[in-house]
């Protein structure tokens, strides 16, 4: 009897400890709130407190964002702001913070799909107090991005114009090719480049989002804005003919001798390499189809000069499609409500905040009241302007999807690069995941 | 485990009476005292979260709803998870044995070498470098492109010693008049006779293979009893007209042109001049074929596609082995150090060979430590995460994923499916515990 | 309490030159094999080293072996850049404290428990031991959330003690496993002799077990140092202002960009300390303890 007694005691101890703690923990996950119902007052000196922002911007971009925060500090000297750059670990920190009951006050999120999943968990606070500021500064399509069930949850602070194509100037000159304005011209240019001895396209398929970006640009132009919206909300299935048509166009790019290193190499090439390899001497490819942030990349990671060695043209129209812009953006959302946090949100929605970064370069603001002359060079200005003033603008479709579908898109499109003939198989797999994601 | 009684051990007085052990109660109190700190730490930091995870797995992803076994159902139906489990099984079958074997080999061999410490540091370095960085280096090393990936670069370099690279590895015909393939060589489809001029136009020549000092391509005159021709780069900025030698199109010198008679025998071979022109003189009448031999296009084997679907898991296993062998080596070396020297000496003086001593004395003595290494590796392999995440590209995820990655993806990386993630964790635990126990009991029995 | 010594067997053998040459030659294959293996093993790390000495554009444009062709591309600017952030020094100090604590504590706790499992009798001992080993399966990530919550409630969030306890706890399953198996190999006679002499368990533990267990304890120690020093995830989640070095450096990774110019020097820099400790303490792994006398 005594033998077993000890064992029993031990087991009970451990068991009790666990159950006790588990009971205390529960399954809760709403954000701990310090909610006040006071709106941010105009007497800015009164606002005090301390807030923490977790964000994705690090390195040079982090410095620029800090400059933006400095502007805030000037206006609100009594508020302590800490910026926690988290880079790629941001999702982990946010997930843990929310589940564990202590998230940061504010955070940057680049995917409205993820924003929605946090809203569904009840983790985010609506920013109704900023409605006027938002209406003034942003076009409706940007505000709608972070609006769910009639409430807005974030400010789209940093934008990205993804309907851009960058190229190696010398390669184009040597081949006698002009920047194309239509899709057919682009394909022709590709063939000419190939004959001149340069592989036309650089694809960073190891980073699936480069493939979804291409798909979105093609789809928006072949199927139109309405269908794009329907696809984004799964009103039409992924097996719809419009999707297959878009994939068929993409397949023209993905022939193995069109792509730098061949298809199998492209699948291992990550986005950074897909950019830098266009600007080596000799280049591995002539064209890389990605957004305006490529420009910053070229400046920091290569020796090429924009305007001289590298240049950009707008994504070509397909079958006479009107000018449209596919874009993305990083939003700032609020986990914990407080006067200081509200002040920060309102500040970030203003043109002054945007200007502090815009003038440093590497930044496109969706803020339509921003004076475009602050952009440091013509190319940046042109691309940013196209974004903010776009008549037809659509947000990156994959970012609007629930994460699981987003990832399936990456994986399936990569599979499509491997086997561009398999359009039906690709769309069927996507639809299978979409069905589960949109019950 | 008991040691052998070496006759030199002790001069202790003969044992007449063993004092009675302290009362059972007191004895267990001592055990408890020794175990208490461990129980505390393990209980709070390891057991409590494990239990909480188990409980969490029965709730919905958002946390509010109790959903019984729904998460587990979803788990078993998920294809990606099935692939992950399959991959984990492969890892378990291959890696722990390999790591232990390497570790044992290194630990034993380095005993005999005076510069062992240096070697040990070399093998140990992978452990010191953060796992994330390890993934990054190997990912780069495994790049298929020999200009980027060290392994394929090595393969190409070694080949370069034995085989020659062709002068125009990427060239293709500019028109249909040239047929064939880079592997077999390109031949003019139409036969030529003496007095005709052969036009061999090529495109897609990469910049590095263009002539250093380009010369305008020139179409030579026809000669009555010979065959002339020109091989040139049939491209000028804007494209030009394929098949015609135009202004600004460059001749390709130094290319070997072959002349073949109607029955396929090579009757002549010449090299083109800097302006691309060539001539076969003194040719008898008849039909001939003009060709560019395949040596011109020869590209040596460029290496393997390490990150492709077929090789990705072996590539991961190699990288993992690279890191963990040092771990095994250090632990086994510690075990070796603890073997009583006199045991080994006695065995040797008794006339045993090195191999016999190794088998009969060393390995059994090492058994407990070998088990530690094996078991730790098995478990480490079940939990492997960092390497898979940093080495495998998006496209490979479906073939190379492992269960820890799936768990992380569902819970943390924006999917926020904590209930499901918890179910995966619990499943991992439940699945492997009996397997573990079975193996441990087996080893213990063998002892 | 004396334990007799095993006799030293000094190796003084008269060898003829021929025999000696034969002996060295016989060893030669081993030397050569080990040398080749050693160099191959180092290749990836050397690659990383050279990558850390190249500017981002150079590193992207060609493989790291370009250093041999053009030594002039070597630069130390990457190292300079990661230190630009003045949080680094503070982080180093935090990391040192956490590593020290999270090495000593689990060694103590695991030794005590390991001895209990190896040489003390109590009911259910072996099953309990198996249970401890099974805990090796609990992944770190899954403990993060419950512990994060716990720490927030108990004020251990963002403290050095919090980090130390977390790491120590997770070191225990392996530590107890290793030490118990190691201790079990200690000759029973030594323990019996000590017990007969009337020593308490604690005394036996301190005077007999610990000294004999030094190789395993040293091995455990070095691995724990490595793991804690390089840890990224735990420090990221459970600390904020007092972040250890890996999260501090790795949070500098940019959204785009291969970030090689941060990862490569950071990885090297982080590797230096553990490697130095390993090199310095290597002899403890190999000291033949039973060849000496034990008091």
Tell me the backbone φ, ψ of residue A31, rounded to 5 degrees: -70, 140
Is B442 found in the same domain as B336? yes
Whether C108 has a pLDDT exceeding 90, the answer reads yes
Of C52, C75, C98, the last residue of a domain is C75
| Mean pLDDT of the region A382-408 | 86
- Distance of alpha carbon B276 from the chain centroid: 45
The count of domains in chain A is 2
Selecting from A61, A99, A270 the residue whose C-beta is nearest the C-beta of C258 gives: A270
Q: Which chains touch A (3 or more CB pairs under 8 A)?
A: B, C
Domain-located, residue B11: no
The helix (run of H) or strand (run of E) holding residue A135 is helix A131-137
Distance from CA of C277 to the nearest CA of B (A): 10
Per-residue confidence (pLDDT) for residue C20, from 0 to 100: 58
Nearest CA in chain B to A282: B207
Q: Are A284 and A261 in contact (CB under 8 A)?
A: yes
Domain-located, residue C200: yes
Selecting from A56, A87, A102 the residue whose C-beta is nearest the C-beta of C152 gives: A102
> Distance between CA atoms of A368 and A391, rounded to whole angstroms?
12
User: With an 8 Å Cβ cutoff, are C133 and B19 in contact?
Assistant: no
Neighbours of B385 (CB within 10 A): 18
Domain-located, residue B29: no
Band the pLDDT of C269: cuts 50, 70, 90: confident
Selecting from C112, C139, C271 the residue whose C-beta is nearest the C-beta of B125 gives: C271
Whether B410 has a pLDDT exceeding 80, the answer reads no
Tell me the backbone φ, ψ of residue A394, rounded to 5 degrees: -135, 140
Q: Are B63 and B418 in contact (CB under 8 A)?
A: yes
Domain-located, residue B365: yes
User: With an 8 Å Cβ cutoff, are B141 and C141 in contact?
Assistant: no
Per-residue confidence (pLDDT) for residue C9, from 0 to 100: 41
Q: What is the pLDDT of residues B6-27, one digit of tens each?
A: 333 334 444 444 444 555 556 6
More confident site: A41 or A168: A168
The count of domains in chain B is 2
Distance from CA of C239 to the nearest CA of A (A): 11
> Distance between CA atoms of A423 and C159, rounded to whole angstroms?
54
Is A243 found in the same domain as A374? no
Is A433 found in the same domain as A377? no
Domain-located, residue C105: yes
Domain of C172 in residue numbering reads as 85-291
Least confident segment among A350-359, B370-379, C195-204: C195-204
Is A322 found in the same domain as A190? yes
Neighbours of B79 (CB within 10 A): 10
Q: Does C61 touch chain A (CB under 8 A)?
A: yes
Any residues with CB less than 8 A from the CB of A70 and at least 6 apart, and which? Answer: A356
Is C176 found in the same domain as C46? no
Selecting from B31, B130, B440 the residue whose C-beta is nearest the C-beta of C120 gives: B31
Is C251 found in the same domain as C116? yes
Neighbours of A230 (CB within 10 A): 16
Q: What is the pLDDT of residues C82-101, one digit of tens each?
A: 776 666 777 888 899 999 99
What CATH number is associated with residue C99?
1.10.3720.10
Band the pLDDT of A168: cuts 50, 70, 90: very high
Is C265 found in the same domain as C287? yes
Domain-located, residue C2: no
Q: Are A384 and A159 in contact (CB under 8 A)?
A: yes
Task: Report how far apart, in Å, the C-alpha atoms of B299 and of each of B170, B295, B340 are.
Answer: 9, 9, 59
Whether B378 has a pLDDT exceeding 60, the answer reads yes
What CATH number is associated with residue B211?
2.60.40
Please state the ipTM of this predicted complex.
0.79
Domain-located, residue C12: no
Q: What is the pLDDT of residues B223-281, one digit of tens each?
A: 888 888 888 888 888 878 888 888 888 888 888 888 888 887 888 888 888 888 888 88
Domain-located, residue B208: yes
Is A237 found in the same domain as A127? no
Is A181 found in the same domain as A100? no
Is C114 found in the same domain as C71? no
User: With an 8 Å Cβ cutoff, are B27 and C122 in contact?
Assistant: yes
| Mean pLDDT of the region B407-429 | 76
Distance from CA of C127 to the nearest CA of B (A): 10
Is A134 found in the same domain as A63? yes
Whether A28 has a pLDDT exceeding 60, the answer reads no
> Distance between CA atoms of B337 and B273, rounded to whole angstroms?
72
Domain-located, residue C8: no
Return the DSSP state at B43. I
Per-residue confidence (pLDDT) for residue C237, from 0 to 100: 80
> Distance between CA atoms of A40 and A76, rounded to whole angstroms?
12
Any residues with CB less than 8 A from the CB of A317 and at least 6 apart, and which? Answer: A181, A182, A183, A221, A323
Q: What is the pLDDT of residues A84-141, one digit of tens each?
A: 887 777 887 888 888 778 899 999 998 888 898 889 888 999 998 988 888 888 888 8
> Distance between CA atoms of A295 and A407, rounded to whole angstroms?
26
Of B249, B268, B297, the last residue of a domain is B297
Of C56, C75, C94, the last residue of a domain is C75
User: With an 8 Å Cβ cutoff, are C31 and B113 in contact?
Assistant: yes
What pTM does this model have?
0.79
Selecting from B121, B136, B425 the residue whose C-beta is nearest the C-beta of C278 gives: B121
Neighbours of C272 (CB within 10 A): 10
Q: Does C292 touch chain B (CB under 8 A)?
A: no
Is A425 found in the same domain as A301? yes
Domain-located, residue B240: yes
Band the pLDDT of B413: cuts 50, 70, 90: low
Mutation choice for A interface testing from B79, B393, B406, B409 by most A CBs within 10 A: B393
Beta partners for residue B231, in sequence order: B200
Is B382 found in the same domain as B270? no
Is C137 found in the same domain as C102? yes
Tell me the backbone φ, ψ of residue A422, rounded to 5 degrees: -90, 65
Of B297, B326, B348, the last residue of a domain is B297
Is A172 found in the same domain as A300? yes
The helix (run of H) or strand (run of E) holding residue A65 is helix A59-75
Is C100 found in the same domain as C204? yes
Output the six-digit token pair for C291.
């060849």
Nearest CA in chain B to C178: B372
Q: Does C26 touch chain A (CB under 8 A)?
A: no
Q: Which residues of C touch B128 (CB under 8 A)?
A: 226, 230, 270-271, 274-275, 278
Is C168 found in the same domain as C35? no
Question: What's the half-sphere exposure (Cβ side, CA atoms, 13 Å) at C276?
Answer: 7
Is B330 found in the same domain as B247? no
Is B413 found in the same domain as B345? yes
Task: Report how far apart, in Å, the C-alpha atoms of A146 and of each of A99, A110, A152, A387, B410 are.
Answer: 22, 11, 5, 17, 23
Tell me the backbone φ, ψ of residue C206, rounded to 5 degrees: -75, -35
> Distance between CA atoms of C155 and C148, rounded to whole angstroms?
10
Domain-located, residue C3: no
Is A201 found in the same domain as A76? no
Is A353 found in the same domain as A248? no
Output the six-digit token pair for B45.
């930091």
Per-residue confidence (pLDDT) for residue A42, from 0 to 100: 45
| Mean pLDDT of the region B300-320 | 87
Q: Are B217 and B250 in contact (CB under 8 A)?
A: yes
Angle, CA C233 vertex, CA A22 and CA A87 arms, to 5°: 120
In percent, the amount of chain C with pLDDT more than 90 equals: 11
Mutation choice for C interface testing from B55, B130, B324, B325 by most C CBs within 10 A: B130
Q: Does B333 touch chain C (CB under 8 A)?
A: yes
| Mean pLDDT of the region A295-314 | 86
What CATH number is associated with residue A134?
3.40.190.10
Is C154 found in the same domain as C216? yes
Q: Does B327 touch chain C (CB under 8 A)?
A: yes
Count A/B contacts: CB-CB distance under 8 Å. 151
Q: Does A256 touch chain B (CB under 8 A)?
A: no
Is C156 found in the same domain as C280? yes
Is A288 found in the same domain as A248? yes
Of B235, B268, B297, the last residue of a domain is B297
> Distance between CA atoms of A185 and A190, rounded to whole angstroms?
8
Is C242 found in the same domain as C123? yes
Q: Which residues of C touch B45 (CB under 8 A)?
A: 143, 147, 165-166, 169-170
Secondary structure class of B311 (helix, strand, coil): coil
> Distance between CA atoms of A204 and A224, rounded to whole angstroms?
26
Domain-located, residue B411: yes
Is C200 found in the same domain as C157? yes
Range list of β-strands (E), B124-280: 172-173, 178-181, 185-188, 197-203, 227-233, 256-261, 266-271, 277-280
In percent, the amount of chain A with pLDDT more than 90 equals: 40
Is C148 found in the same domain as C276? yes
Q: Does A25 touch chain C (CB under 8 A)?
A: yes
| Mean pLDDT of the region C27-40 | 83
The count of domains in chain C is 2
In percent, the amount of chain B with pLDDT more than 70 equals: 90
Q: Does A425 touch chain B (CB under 8 A)?
A: no
Domain of A313 in residue numbering reads as 164-326+398-437
Q: Does C108 touch chain B (CB under 8 A)?
A: yes
| Best CA proximity match to B128, nearest among B323, B317, B273 | B323
Domain-located, residue C21: yes
Domain of B395 in residue numbering reads as 61-143+307-446
Give the torsion sign (CA, A257, A263, A269, A275).
Answer: positive
Mode of pairing for the β-strands spanning B256-261 and B288-292:
antiparallel
Return the DSSP state at A45. G
Whether A251 has a pLDDT exceeding 90, the answer reads yes
Output the six-digit token pair for A234.
């799964």
Is A210 found in the same domain as A310? yes
User: With an 8 Å Cβ cutoff, are B418 and A99 in contact?
Assistant: yes
Mean of per-residue pLDDT scores for chain A: 84
């Amino acid at each position: 009897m005594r033998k077993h007694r000890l064992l029993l005691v031990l087991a009970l101890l451990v068991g009790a400890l666990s159950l006790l703690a588990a009971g205390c923990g529960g399954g809760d996950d709403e954000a701990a709130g310090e909610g006040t119902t006071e709106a941010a007052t105009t007497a800015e000196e009164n606002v005090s407190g301390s807030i923490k922002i977790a964000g994705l911007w690090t390195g040079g971009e982090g410095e620029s964002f800090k400059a933006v925060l400095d502007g805030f500090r000037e206006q609100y000297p009594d508020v302590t702001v800490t910026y926690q750059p988290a880079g790629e670990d941001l999702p982990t920190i946010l997930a843990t913070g929310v589940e564990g009951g202590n998230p940061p006050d504010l955070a940057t999120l680049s995917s409205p799909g993820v924003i929605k999943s946090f809203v569904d968990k009840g983790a985010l606070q609506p920013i109704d107090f900023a409605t006027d500021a938002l209406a003034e500064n942003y076009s409706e399509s940007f505000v709608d991005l972070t609006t769910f069930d009639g409430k807005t949850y974030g400010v789209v602070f940093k934008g990205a114009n993804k309907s851009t194509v960058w190229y190696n100037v010398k390669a184009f000159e040597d081949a006698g090719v002009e920047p194309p304005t239509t899709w057919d011209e682009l394909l022709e240019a590709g063939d000419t480049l190939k004959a001149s001895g340069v592989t036309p396209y650089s694809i960073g398929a190891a980073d699936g989002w480069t493939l979804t970006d291409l798909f979105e640009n093609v789809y928006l132009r072949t199927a139109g804005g309405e269908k794009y919206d329907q696809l984004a909300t799964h009103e039409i299935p992924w097996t719809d003919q419009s999707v297959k048509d878009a994939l068929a166009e993409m397949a023209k790019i993905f022939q193995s001798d069109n792509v730098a290193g061949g298809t199998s190499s492209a699948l291992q090439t990550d986005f950074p390499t897909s950019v830098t390899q266009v600007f080596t001497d000799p280049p591995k490819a002539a064209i890389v189809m990605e957004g305006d942030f490529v420009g910053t990349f070229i400046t920091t990671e290569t020796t090429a000069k924009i305007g001289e060695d590298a240049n950009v043209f707008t994504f070509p129209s397909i079958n006479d499609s009107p000018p449209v812009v596919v874009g993305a953006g990083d939003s700032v959302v609020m986990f914990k409500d407080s006067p200081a946090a509200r002040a920060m949100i309102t500040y970030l929605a203003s043109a002054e905040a945007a200007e502090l970064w815009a003038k440093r370069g590497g930044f496109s603001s969706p803020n339509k009241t921003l004076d475009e002359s602050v952009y440091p060079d013509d190319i940046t200005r042109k691309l940013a302007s196209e974004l903010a003033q776009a008549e037809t603008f659509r947000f990156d479709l994959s970012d609007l999807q629930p994460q699981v579908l987003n990832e399936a898109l990456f994986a399936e499109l990569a599979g499509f690069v491997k086997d561009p003939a398999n359009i039906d198989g690709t769309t069927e797999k996507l639809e299978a995941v979409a069905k589960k994601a949109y019950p | 485990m008991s040691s052998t009684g070496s006759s030199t051990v002790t001069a202790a007085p003969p044992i007449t009476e063993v004092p009675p052990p302290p009362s059972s109660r007191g004895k267990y109190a001592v055990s408890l005292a020794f175990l208490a700190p461990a129980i505390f730490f393990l209980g709070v930091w390891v057991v409590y979260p494990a239990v909480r995870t188990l409980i969490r797995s029965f709730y919905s992803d958002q946390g509010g709803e109790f959903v019984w076994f729904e998460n587990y159902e979803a788990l078993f139906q998920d294809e990606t998870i099935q692939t992950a489990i399959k991959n984990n099984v492969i890892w378990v079958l291959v890696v722990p044995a390999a790591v232990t074997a390497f570790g044992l080999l290194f630990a034993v061999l380095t005993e005999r070498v005076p510069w062992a410490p240096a070697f040990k540091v070399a093998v140990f370095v992978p452990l010191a470098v953060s796992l994330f960085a390890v993934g990054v280096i190997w990912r780069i090393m495994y790049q298929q492109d020999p200009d980027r990936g060290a392994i394929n670069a090595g393969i190409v370099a070694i080949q370069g010693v034995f085989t020659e690279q062709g002068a125009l590895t990427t060239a293709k015909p500019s028109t249909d008049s040239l047929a064939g393939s880079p592997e077999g060589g390109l031949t003019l489809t139409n036969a030529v006779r003496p007095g005709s001029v052969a036009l061999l136009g090529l495109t897609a020549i990469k910049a590095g293979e263009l002539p250093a000092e380009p010369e305008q391509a020139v179409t030579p005159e026809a000669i009555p009893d010979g065959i002339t021709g020109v091989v040139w780069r049939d491209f000028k900025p804007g494209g030009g007209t394929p098949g015609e030698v135009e202004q600004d199109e460059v001749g390709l010198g130094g290319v070997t042109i072959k002349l073949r008679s109607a029955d396929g025998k090579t009757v002549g071979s010449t090299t083109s001049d800097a302006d691309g022109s060539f001539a076969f003189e003194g040719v008898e009448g008849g039909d001939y074929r003009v060709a560019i031999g395949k040596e011109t296009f020869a590209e040596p084997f460029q290496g393997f596609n390490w990150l492709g679907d077929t090789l990705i898991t072996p590539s991961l296993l190699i990288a993992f082995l690279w890191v963990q062998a040092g771990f095994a080596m250090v632990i086994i070396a510690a075990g070796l150090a603890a073997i009583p020297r006199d045991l080994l000496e006695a065995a040797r003086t008794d006339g045993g060979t090195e191999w016999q001593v190794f088998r009969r004395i060393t390995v059994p003595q090492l058994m407990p430590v070998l088990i530690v290494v094996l078991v730790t590796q098995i478990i480490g392999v079940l939990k492997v995460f960092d390497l898979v995440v940093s080495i495998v590209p998006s496209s490979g995820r479906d073939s190379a994923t492992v269960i820890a990655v799936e768990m992380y993806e569902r819970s943390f990386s924006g999917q926020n499916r904590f209930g499901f993630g918890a179910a995966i964790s619990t499943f991992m635990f439940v699945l492997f515990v009996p397997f573990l126990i079975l193996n441990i009991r087996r080893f213990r029995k063998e002892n | 309490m004396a334990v007799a010594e095993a006799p030293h067997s000094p190796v003084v053998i008269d060898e003829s030159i021929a025999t000696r040459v034969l002996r060295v030659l016989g060893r030669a294959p081993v030397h050569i094999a080990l040398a080749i293996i050693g160099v191959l093993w180092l290749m990836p790390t050397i690659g990383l080293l050279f990558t850390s000495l190249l500017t981002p554009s150079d590193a992207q444009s060609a493989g790291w072996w370009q250093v041999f062709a053009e030594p002039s591309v070597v630069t130390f600017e990457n190292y300079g850049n990661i230190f630009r952030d003045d949080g680094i020094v503070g982080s180093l100090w935090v990391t040192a404290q956490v590593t020290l604590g999270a090495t000593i504590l689990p060694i103590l706790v695991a030794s005590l428990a390991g001895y209990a499992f190896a040489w003390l009798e109590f009911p259910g001992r072996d099953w309990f031991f198996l249970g401890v080993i099974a805990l090796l399966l609990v992944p770190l990530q899954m403990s993060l959330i419950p512990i994060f919550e716990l720490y927030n409630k108990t004020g251990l969030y963002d403290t050095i003690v919090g980090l130390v306890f977390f790491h120590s706890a997770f070191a225990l399953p392996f530590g107890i496993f290793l030490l118990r198996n190691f201790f079990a190999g200690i000759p029973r006679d030594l323990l019996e002799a000590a017990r007969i002499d009337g020593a308490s368990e604690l005394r036996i533990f301190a005077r007999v077990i610990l000294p004999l267990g030094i190789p395993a304890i040293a091995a455990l120690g070095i691995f724990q140092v490595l793991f804690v020093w390089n840890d990224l995830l735990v420090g990221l989640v459970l600390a904020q202002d007092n972040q250890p070095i890996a999260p501090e450096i790795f949070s500098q990774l940019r959204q785009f960009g291969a970030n090689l110019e941060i990862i490569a020097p950071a990885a090297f820099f982080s590797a230096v300390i553990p490697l130095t400790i390993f090199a310095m303490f290597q002899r403890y792994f190999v000291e033949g303890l039973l060849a000496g006398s034990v008091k």
